[in-house]
Amino acid sequence: MLNNIGLPGLLLIAIVVLVLFGRGKISNLMGEVGKGITAFKKGVNDGQKELEDEKADSAKDVTPAETEKDKV
């Protein structure tokens, strides 16, 4: 059903939405969508950074420890 819409159909839908809601309401809605996307991306990046920090903190120290023989 949606495969047959094409460019003229999309333009008609956009015009109807613009007439029904008005330019101001649509721009406010798109601004809120943009803020939501930005907040989501920031949350994902913060989560990834937190996981990387936890991995770095829990990493084992594999350097050999100094013994009494090594100090002489």
Choose among 32, 2, 8, 30: nearest CA to 16. 8
Residue 69 lies in a domain: no
Residue 30 lies in a domain: yes
Tens of pLDDT, residues 33-72: 999 999 999 999 999 999 888 888 777 666 776 766 666 5
Residue 67 lies in a domain: no
Domains in the chain: how many in total? 1
Residue 28 lies in a domain: yes
Lowest mean pLDDT among 5-19, 20-34, 49-63: 49-63
Residue 44 lies in a domain: yes
Residue 26 CB coordination number (10 Å): 14
Q: What is the residue whose two structure tokens read 């094409």?
A: 6
DSSP secondary structure string, 12-29? HHHHHHHHHH-HHHHHHH
Residue 49 lies in a domain: yes
Distance CA 23, CA 31 (A): 12
Residue 6 lies in a domain: no
Q: What is the pLDDT of residue 11?
A: 92
Domain containing 36: what range? 22-54
In single-letter form, the type of residue at position 27 comes to S
Q: What is the pLDDT of residue 60?
A: 67
Q: What is the pLDDT of residue 17?
A: 87
Q: What is the pTM of this model?
A: 0.53
